[in-house]
Amino acid sequence: AGETGWAYAHVPELPEVHTQGEDLEEARAMVKDAIELVLSERRERGETIPAAGTVVVESVEIAA
């Protein structure tokens, strides 16, 4: 989260999962809920659940 306090999260293996929160803790909780919902929906439809991939977290600073 930057100066604005917002954090964005998405899951490359599940393109429909993307969310945000006012801080990292909220974004983590939101993405966990979104993953659980998407996996449940995929299971109900008989769709494949992809294997977990590598997680990379990186922060960048951009001059204002």
Looking up residue 12, the CATH number of its domain turns out to be 3.30.160.250
* pLDDT for residue 3: 58
The DSSP code sequence of 25-44 is HHHHHHHHHHHHHHHHHHHH
Domain count, the chain: 1
* pLDDT for residue 54: 72
pLDDT digits (tens, 9 = 90+) for 2-54: 456 788 898 888 999 999 999 888 988 999 999 999 999 999 999 989 888 77
* 47 three-class SS: coil
Read off the pLDDT of each residue in 55-59 and give the average, rounded to a whole number: 72
- Domain of residue 53 covers 1-64
Whether the predicted pLDDT of 56 surpasses 90: no
